[in-house]
Structure 1
Amino acid sequence: MEPFFHGLLLALGLILPLGVQNVFIFNQGAIQPSFKKAWPAALTAAICDTALILLAVLGVSVIVMQYDWLRLAMLIIGVLFLTYMGFQTWFAKSNIQSDNQALQMTVRKQVVFTLSVSLLNPHAILDTIGVIGSVSLIYEGVNKVIFTLTCILVSWCWFHGLCVTGRMIRRLDTTGRFLDLLNKVSAIIIWITALYMGKAII
Structure 2
Amino acid sequence: MEAAIHGIILAFGLILPLGIQNVFVFSQGATQPRVLQAFPATITAALCDTFLIILAVFGLSTIVFQFEWLRFSLVLVGVLFLLYMGLSIWNTKPKANESNNALPIRQQIMFALSVSLLNPHAILDTVGVIGTSALKYVGEEQVYFTIGCIAVAWGWFFGLMIAGSILKKLDTTGNLMNILNKCSALFIWGTAIYLLIGLT
Normalising to structure 1: TM-score of the pair?
A: 0.87
Deviation per CA, 1:132-163: give whole Å up to 9, x if none: 22222222222211111111011011011111
Counterpart check, 1:72 vs 2:72: yes
Q: C-alpha displacement at 1:109, in angstroms?
A: 4.1
Q: Is 1:44 the counterpart of 2:44 in the alignment?
A: yes
Question: What aligned pairs does 1:145-156 form with structure 2 within 5 A after superposition?
Answer: 145-156=143-154
CA distance in 2, matches of 1:198, 1:157: 31
Whole-angstrom distance in 1 between the partners of 2:37 and 2:134: 35
Sort the Cα spacing of 1:167 and 1:90 in 2 relative to 1 into closer, same or farther, 3 A: same
Residues 78 and 118, structure 2, Cα contact 8 Å, conserved in 1:
yes
Shift of 1:108: 4.2
Return the offset for 1:129.
2.1
Partner of 2:99: 99
How far off is 1:98 after superposition?
5.1
Q: CA deviation at 1:60?
A: 3.0
Aligned-residue CA RMSD in angstroms?
2.0
Deviation at 1:4, TM superposition (A): 2.0
Corresponding letter in the other structure for 2:181: N
Alignment correspondent of 1:134 = 132
1:14, distance to aligned residue in structure 2 (A):
1.6
Alpha-carbon distance in 2 for matches of 1:18, 1:119: 16
> How does the TM-score come out when normalised to structure 2?
0.88
Specify the alignment match of 2:173 in structure 1. Answer: 175
- The 1:88/1:126 distance shift into structure 2, 3 A limit, reads closer
Q: Distance in 2 between matches of 1:194 and 1:71?
A: 15
SS in 2 for 1:59: helix
Pairs aligned (count): 200
Higher mean C-alpha deviation, range 156-165 or range 86-95: 86-95
Unaligned 5+ runs, structure 2: none
* Mapped partners of 2:168, 2:113: distance in 1: 25
Q: 1:58 to 1:186 in 2, by over 3 A?
A: same
**Residues 48 and 115 of structure 1 are in contact (CA less than 8 Å); yes or no, is this contact kept in structure 2?**
yes
Residue type at the aligned position of 2:162: V
Identity %: 54
The code of the aligned residue for 1:147 comes to F
How far 1:74 moved relative to its partner? Answer: 2.0
Residues 20 and 193, structure 1, Cα contact 8 Å, conserved in 2: no
The residue type equivalent to 2:117 in the other structure is L
Deviation string for 1:52-110 (max 9, x for gaps)?
A: 1111111134213422332222222222222222222112122233521x32x444443
The equivalent of 1:57 in structure 2 is 57
Which of residues 121, 124, 127 in structure 2 aligns to 1:123? 121
> Residues 107-134 of structure 1: CA distance to partner in whole angstroms, max 9, x if unpaired?
4443344333323333322322222222
User: Are the equivalent residues in 1 in contact too, given 2:25–2:160 (CA < 8 A)?
Assistant: yes
